[in-house]
């Protein structure tokens, strides 16, 4: 009987040793897996940072585009107003030319009358 107990103890000891080796193998495998997960997480964080920066750049570009569109609209409105004023300025310029021409004619007629040419 004591030999049976010893045999059982040796079997249990062998199984415990085998379990211990299996647990050690699992620990090593887990360490390697954790390193891989850590690297993957680091890459993911870097990608997220780049994505956030890209999103910020896109937002700024859209805001700048909106401002540029508003500026273009303002310039179009200003050009329309200047074109309207151009017509009025052209008419005013013609009236001023007519008045100056009339004044010159009157002065010449007055001078001619004074000199006795008429």
Question: Could you list the pLDDT tens digit for every one of the 118 residues in the chain?
Answer: 567 888 888 998 899 998 999 898 899 989 999 999 999 999 999 999 999 999 999 999 999 999 999 999 999 999 998 888 888 888 888 898 999 999 999 999 988 888 887 6
Residue 99 lies in a domain: no
Q: Give the N- to C-terminal CA distance of the chain in Å, as an integer.
A: 165
Domain for residue 101, yes or no? no
Q: Is residue 116 part of a domain?
A: no
User: Is 56 part of any domain?
Assistant: yes
pTM given for the model: 0.47
**Is residue 118 in a domain?**
no
Domain extent, residue 73, equals: 1-91
Cα angle for residues 21, 27, 31 (degrees, 5° grid): 145
Spatial distance between the Cα atoms of 24 and 16, rounded to a whole number of angstroms: 12
Q: 15 in a domain, yes or no?
A: yes
Q: What angle do CA 8, 10, 13 make, to 5 degrees?
A: 110
DSSP 8-state code for residue 60 = H
Q: Could you tell me the two tokens for 114?
A: 């004074």
Number of compact structural domains in the chain = 1
């Amino acid at each position: 009987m004591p030999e049976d107990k010893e045999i059982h103890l040796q079997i249990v000891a062998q199984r415990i040793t085998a379990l211990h080796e299996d647990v050690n193998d699992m620990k090593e495998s887990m360490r390697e897996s954790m390193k891989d997960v850590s690297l993957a997480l680091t890459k993911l964080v870097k990608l997220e940072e780049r994505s956030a920066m890209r999103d910020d750049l896109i937002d700024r570009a859209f805001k700048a585009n909106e401002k540029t569109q508003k500026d273009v609209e303002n310039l179009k409105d200003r050009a329309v107003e200047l074109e309207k004023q151009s017509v009025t300025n052209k008419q005013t310029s013609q009236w001023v030319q007519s008045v100056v021409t009339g004044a010159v004619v009157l002065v010449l007629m007055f001078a001619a009358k004074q000199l006795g040419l008429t």
